[in-house]
């Protein structure tokens, strides 16, 4: 629970510092790039995550690394803030939540659409238009492939799941049979 509060707090700070979509996109890409770099260098990852190394040493190491990258000043300051406050371990979850919170801040509803096969552009457009009309606001859709669905779609908005899949139908039938 505490980490969720921290993630929200740091994400809000970063989002409020971004003035428009392009700047947010750049920040997000730079932070993601650093996170991938860090996860691919296990010794460095362990060093920066170590509770035994003082924050000042971690900052020096992170500063040296960031000097050699193309990461912009704002993303660099944010990463150094995470390092100084021993919050670097929350970076992966922070990156996961940032796009959702960015959209939320702008009044855009975010949906995760799961299907067995990739949807065609016309299907995506129709689905987006339908969800936007139901929400009465702009929507952002992310797509993922889920072979366990068998067929149909599963649409998630936050904690709400709209299941129009064959797997969901079969599960509902199974429940009804079990109740009888």
pLDDT at 61: 92
pLDDT at 172: 76
pLDDT at 57: 92
pLDDT at 1: 59
In terms of domains, do 11 and 96 share one?
A: yes
Which residue in the block uniquely carries the two structure tokens 């599963």?
154
pLDDT at 164: 74
* 72: helix, strand or coil: coil
pLDDT at 128: 92
Which residue in the block uniquely carries the two structure tokens 């924050």?
55
In terms of domains, do 165 and 89 share one?
A: no
In terms of domains, do 175 and 87 share one?
A: no
Domain interval for residue 16: 2-103
In terms of domains, do 36 and 123 share one?
A: no
Burial of 180 (C-beta count, 10 Å sphere; 0-12/13-18/19+) = exposed
pLDDT along the chain (180 residues), means of 10: 84 89 92 93 90 90 90 93 92 91 88 90 93 89 86 84 75 79
In terms of domains, do 137 and 123 share one?
A: yes
What b/e sequence results for 47-66 when a residue is b if at least 16 CB atoms lie within 10 Å of its CB, and e otherwise? ebeeeeeeeeebbeebeebb
Cα torsion for 9, 12, 14, 19, to the nearest 10°?
Answer: -170
Specify whether the backbone of 154 is left (phi greater than 0), alpha (psi in -120 to 50) or beta. Answer: beta
CA atoms within 13 A on the CB side of 136: 0
């Amino acid at each position: 629970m505490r980490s969720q509060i921290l993630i929200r707090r740091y994400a809000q700070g970063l989002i409020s510092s971004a003035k428009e979509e392009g700047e947010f996109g750049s920040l997000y890409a730079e932070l993601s790039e650093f996170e991938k770099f860090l996860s691919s260098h296990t010794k460095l990852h362990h060093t920066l995550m170590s509770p035994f190394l003082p924050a000042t040493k971690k900052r020096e190491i992170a500063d040296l690394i960031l000097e050699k990258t193309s990461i912009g000043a704002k993303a660099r300051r944010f990463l150094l803030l995470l390092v100084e406050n021993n919050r670097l371990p929350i970076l992966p979850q922070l990156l996961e939540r940032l796009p959702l919170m960015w959209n939320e801040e702008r009044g855009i509803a975010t949906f995760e659409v799961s299907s067995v096969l990739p949807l065609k552009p016309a299907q995506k457009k129709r689905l987006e238009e339908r969800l936007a009309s139901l929400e009465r606001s702009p929507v952002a859709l992310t797509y993922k492939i889920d072979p366990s669905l068998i067929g149909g779609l599963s649409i998630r908005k936050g904690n709400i799941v709209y299941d129009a899949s064959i797997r969901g139908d079969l599960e509902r039938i199974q429940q009804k049979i079990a109740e009888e």
